[in-house]
Structures are given as structure tokens and as C-alpha cells.
């Protein structure tokens, strides 16, 4: 549809843009892309670890926004909605690629007691490179929760909405992820 | 310092306390606990530092304007695609139903109007002016019927692969440009029901 578009402004919310996209506004889609694409790309890249694949998924996500913006019902924030689309695209891509978990994963079977302790973990978190390496070793499910909680600053309810899992599962995944990160940072600290 | 049993530490909530999304009684519970628990204050500090590191890592180099150009090329290259996909189940049914009604009308009227031969099977040439119309995916059957009545038109073909219908303007000669143009203008004016209208 090529109907004339009202000029979009930086202040226009993602929710308002979705409404105009649903009415066929290409200008609104461009504004929505500019507003959200970096966060969608960061989320997908953290999941798939491949810039080209992340760019393809970002493109697919935005095409889906173009086709289905009318399905956004406003029950969540627009960013949560679009990250939910990205989550499903990532899951599909990982399944196609045949490796939902792309790295050697941290051993999450180790009991979690005394999870708050560990001087090496305290020091390790100051090492950006060590943090990055340990995050990459998390399982996809755990990395997703950590990214959405600490990069996106989303509530556990919003994360559950995106990942399509119960609230308790989000909390549990975060606990396991945190403990796995601590163990990893301790190990790297000991090795270094 | 107050001693706490391990089971009372709000470990499962600390991450969301740190990212600022914890609210209400849960936030109050954590804040109250932190006042008297050194262990959890250290844990919250560790999580806060982790959050800073993750944010500092950033979002890498997103595709930016190149990605946008790619997206818009696809959007414009397949402009009719979403509408074609979103055809409602009743639109083809409506077309078929209208055709059946038209044919029945002709069969009933024919004995008295032998000279009237305007109805032909779908896909064939039809006499009279014909316009092409694409209806909005959200248009209802009642809205489409009203639009057709407004221009005295009947569906004689469609929808095609792109969702386009052929509408015959009854009693309007193909050579009568003014009346055809007026009908097209009237169709285009029905925004929300008609997406596209043009003389054939």
C-alpha cells in the first residue's frame, strides 16, 4: 500500500508505529526498524553467534512485523512483542542449523549451594573478556534469560512472555545461569 | 547483623531487583532483606557489575541502513503479497455466489429479454465496461456489496492471484470514458474497502 504517510518523529512510540504499519505505512516500518533493529539484532546475534544469520533473522523479523503488525494487541510492550517474534525465528534457525546449543556448555549439573560465594567470581566479573567467554558457554536458554534481563532490562514476566515459558522457569534459568557463570569465572581465574 | 536461613535469601528475585523491574511486595521484600543481609548485598553488587559488563559489551554492529534498504526492497518488491495472503475465506466464496446469482437472474430474465446477452462465464470476454478492483483484506461482505451497488457493478471474474476482481459496470459502454472514470473514482473514494481500482 502506498498511501501517503504522516511524517514520523523520533518521539513516536513503537506501539504507535505498529498501528501505522498495520495500516500499510512504509514510513512507519522504516521508523520502527530504526527504533528497534539494534536491540533485535543484538538479541539474535547473542543467540546464534553468526552475524550473517543474525542479519537474516532481523530481516525476517521486520518482514513479519510488516505483514502482521495488526496482530499486536497492546497487551505487552511493542519491544517485548518484537523480541518474541525474534525468539521464535531464532529457535527455527537453530533447529534448522541442528544445534540449539552451539558451544561447549558449562556444566550446570553441579549443585548450586553457596552460589553467592567465591572470591574468584567476584574478581572475574571485572574481566570483560572472561565474562564474554563465559556467557558464550551458557546454554541458549540460559543466555537468553541473562541477555533479556541485563541487556534489555526486562522483567521476569516479560521474559517469560518472550520465551513462552512459565515465570518459575525464567527464575530458575537465571539462577542456574548465574551459578554457571560464577563457576566459569572462577575456573578462568584459576587458569589465568 | 541478622543471620538468615538460606531458604529466606531472595536469590530468585535479585536479578530483577538489580535491573529495576521488580515492583510491589517483591521489591519491598528484597529491600527489607538487603538491609540486614551482607551476603545478599554482595550478591546484588555482583549482579549489578555483571549487568554493567553486559551492557558495555553492546549490541555489536547491526546492519543499520543497509539492512533497512534490503528490507524495504523486499517490502516493495512483494507489495501485493501480504494482501494476497490475507484473503478472507469468504472472498472467493462471495465471488462464486455473486456469479451464481447473476447466472440465475439471466436464466430467469432471458425469456423476456432475449436481446440481453451481457452475462458470460468467468474468464471470458464480457460486454460492457469492466474495471479491476482489489478489496481491502478487512472489508466485509456487506461493505463489498454496498460498493458494488453504488456503481451498479457485478463481479464477473476473480479473485486472481493478486486478489484482483473484475467488475462489470452494468449499462456502461467501454467507450464511455466519462462514466467509467466516474465509477473508478467512486470506487477509489471508498477507502477502507477498496485498495485499488482501475479501468480495464
CATH number for the domain spanning A128: value is 1.10.10.10
Dist. CA A76–CA A148, nearest whole Å? 15
Q: What is the pLDDT of residue B175?
A: 83
Are A13 and A79 in contact by the 8 Å Cβ rule? The answer is no
Tell me whether residue A112 is in a domain.
no
Distance from CA of B169 to the nearest CA of A (A): 25
Separation between Cα atoms, residue A28 and residue A31, nearest integer Å: 5
Query: Distance (Å) from the C-alpha of residue A128 to the closest C-alpha of chain B?
Result: 6
ipTM of the complex: 0.80
Last-in-domain residue among A97, A127, A149: A97
Instruction: Characterize the bridge pairing of strands B129-135 and B153-157.
Output: unpaired
8 A C-beta contact, residue A85 and residue A64: yes
Highest mean pLDDT among A5-9, A78-82, B4-8: A78-82
Which residue is associated with the grid cell 436481446?
B115
The CATH fold assigned to B88-199 is Alpha-Beta Plaits (3.30.70)
Find the residue in A nearest to B45 (Cα): A122
Note whether A18 and A91 are same-domain residues: yes
Number of CB pairs, chain A paired with chain B, less than 8 A apart: 120
Which CATH number covers residue A69?
A: 1.10.1740.10
The answer to whether A106 touches A169, Cβ cutoff 8 Å, is no
Let me know if residue A168 belongs to a domain: yes
Contact A125 B72 (CB under 8 A): no
Q: In B, which residues are within 8 Å of A38 by CB distance?
A: 59, 62
Helix, strand, or coil (residue B132): strand
Distance of CA B119 to the CA centre of its chain: 34
In a domain, A103, yes or no: no
Q: Is the peptide bond before B159 cis (omega within 30 degrees of 0)?
A: yes
How far A25 CA sits from the closest chain B CA (Å)? 11
Q: Are A38 and B63 in contact (CB under 8 A)?
A: no
Of A38, A116, A154, the CB nearest to B43: A116
Closest-CA residue of chain A to B59: A42
- Which grid coordinates belong to B167? 467488475
Whether residue A94 contacts residue A100, with contact meaning beta carbons closer than 8 Å, is answered with yes
A178/A54 Cα distance (integer angstroms): 25
Claim to verify: residue A88 and residue A126 sit in the same structural domain: no
Yes or no, beta carbons of A41 and B15 under 8 Å apart: no
DSSP strand pairing (B153-157 vs B164-169): antiparallel
Could you give the 3-state DSSP secondary structure of residue B129? Answer: strand
Which of the pair, A108 or B140, is modelled with greater confidence? B140
Examine the fold and report which residue of A66, A97, A128 is the final residue of a domain before the chain moves on: A97
Q: Return the residue of B nearest to A153 by Cα.
A: B19
Q: Does B79 touch chain A (CB under 8 A)?
A: yes
Please state, in angstroms and rounded to a whole number, the distance separating the CA atoms of residues B90 and B155: 14
Least confident span in B1-10, B108-117, B173-182: B108-117
Interface check for B54 against chain A (CB to CB < 8 A): the answer is: yes
Min distance A160 CA to chain B CA atoms (Å): 13
What SS3 class is residue B154? strand
**For chain A, what is the domain count?**
2
C-alpha cell at A182: 560464577
Are A176 and A183 in contact by the 8 Å Cβ rule? The answer is: no
Q: In angstroms, what separates the C-alpha of A188 from chain B's closest C-alpha?
A: 16
State CA B82 to chain mean position distance: 7
The residues spanned by each domain of chain B are 10-57, 88-199
**Contact status, residue A90 vs residue A40, Cβ threshold 8 Å:** no
Q: What percent of chain A has pLDDT over 90?
A: 65
Report d(CA A145, CA A178) in Å as an integer.
Answer: 10
Residues 4-23 of B with CB under 8 A from A: 6, 9, 11-13, 15-16, 19-22
Residues of A in contact with B85 (CB under 8 A): 67
The beta-carbon contacts of A49-56 under 8 Å, at least 24 apart in sequence, are A49/A102, A49/A103, A49/A136, A51/B60, A51/B61, A53/A93, A53/A97, A55/B63, A55/B67, A56/A93
Q: Inter-chain contact B68–A174, Cβ cutoff 8 Å?
A: no
- The answer to whether the CB atoms of A63 and B71 lie below 8 A apart is yes
Q: Is the pLDDT of residue B196 over 90?
A: no
Mean pLDDT of B59-70: 84
In the structure, how many helices (H) and strands (E) does chain B have? 8, 4
Rounded mean pLDDT, A16-20 = 95
B27 touches chain A (CB under 8 A): no
Q: Is residue A8 part of a domain?
A: no
CA B123 vs. chain centroid, Å, equals 28
Judged by average pLDDT, the poorest of A27-41, B30-44, B183-197 is: B183-197
Domain coverage including residue A138: 119-191
pLDDT digits (tens, 9 = 90+) for A145-182: 999 999 999 999 999 999 999 999 999 999 999 999 99
A93 and A143 part of one domain: no
Chosen from A40, A80, A130, A149 to mutate, greatest number of chain B CBs within 10 A? A149
Place of cell 534459568: A173
Asked whether the predicted pLDDT for residue B123 surpasses 70, the reply is no
Nearest by CB to residue B15, choosing from A122, A126, A174, is A174
Please tell me whether residue B9 adopts helix, strand or coil conformation: coil
Residue that is written with C-alpha cell 528497534 in the block: A36
Higher-pLDDT residue of B179, B114: B179
Pairwise CA distance, residues B74 & B152, whole Å: 38
Amino acid at each position: 500500500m502506498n498511501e501517503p504517510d504522516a511524517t514520523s518523529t523520533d518521539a513516536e512510540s513503537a506501539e504507535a508505529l505498529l498501528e501505522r504499519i498495520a495500516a500499510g505505512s512504509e514510513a512507519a516500518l522504516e521508523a520502527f526498524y530504526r527504533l528497534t533493529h539494534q536491540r533485535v539484532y543484538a538479541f539474535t546475534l547473542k543467540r546464534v553467534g553468526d552475524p550473517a544469520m543474525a542479519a537474516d533473522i532481523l530481516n525476517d523479523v521486520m518482514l513479519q512485523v510488516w505483514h502482521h503488525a495488526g496482530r499486536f494487541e497492546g497487551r505487552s510492550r511493542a519491544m517485548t512483542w518484537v523480541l518474541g517474534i525474534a525468539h521464535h525465528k531464532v529457535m527455527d534457525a537453530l533447529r534448522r542449523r541442528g544445534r540449539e546449543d552451539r558451544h561447549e556448555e558449562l556444566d550446570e549439573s553441579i549443585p548450586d549451594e553457596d552460589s553467592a560465594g567465591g572470591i574468584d567470581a567476584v574478581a572475574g566479573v571485572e574481566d570483560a573478556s572472561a565474562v564474554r567467554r563465559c556467557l558464550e558457554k551458557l546454554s541458549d536458554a540460559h543466555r537468553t534469560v541473562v541477555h533479556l534481563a541485563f541487556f534489555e532490562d526486562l522483567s521476569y514476566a516479560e521474559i517469560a512472555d518472550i520465551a513462552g515459558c512459565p515465570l518459575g522457569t525464567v527464575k530458575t534459568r537465571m539462577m542456574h545461569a548465574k551459578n554457571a557463570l560464577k563457576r566459569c569465572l572462577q575456573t578462568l581465574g584459576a587458569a589465568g | 547483623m541478622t543471620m538468615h536461613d538460606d531458604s529466606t535469601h531472595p536469590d530468585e528475585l535479585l536479578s530483577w531487583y538489580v535491573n529495576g523491574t521488580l515492583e510491589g511486595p517483591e521489591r519491598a521484600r528484597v529491600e527489607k532483606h538487603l538491609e540486614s543481609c551482607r551476603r545478599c548485598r554482595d550478591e546484588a553488587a555482583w549482579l549489578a557489575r555483571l549487568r554493567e559488563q553486559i551492557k558495555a559489551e553492546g549490541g555489536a554492529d547491526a546492519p543499520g541502513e543497509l539492512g533497512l534498504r534490503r528490507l524495504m526492497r523486499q517490502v516493495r518488491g512483494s507489495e501485493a503479497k501480504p494482501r494476497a495472503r490475507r484473503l478472507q475465506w469468504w472472498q472467493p466464496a462471495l465471488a462464486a455466489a455473486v456469479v451464481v446469482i447473476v447466472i440465475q437472474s439471466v436464466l430467469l430474465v432471458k425469456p423476456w429479454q432475449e436481446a440481453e446477452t451481457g452475462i458470460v462465464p468467468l474468464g471470458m470476454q464480457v460486454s460492457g465496461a469492466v474495471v479491476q478492483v482489489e478489496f481491502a483484506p478487512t472489508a466485509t461482505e456487506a461493505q463489498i456489496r454496498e460498493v458494488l451497488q453504488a456503481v451498479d457493478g457485478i463481479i464477473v471474474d476473480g479473485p486472481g492471484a493478486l486478489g484482483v476482481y473484475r467488475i462489470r459496470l452494468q449499462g456502461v459502454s467501454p467507450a464511455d470514458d466519462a462514466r467509467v472514470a466516474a465509477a473508478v473514482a467512486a470506487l477509489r473514494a471508498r477507502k477502507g474497502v477498496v485498495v485499488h481500482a482501475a479501468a480495464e
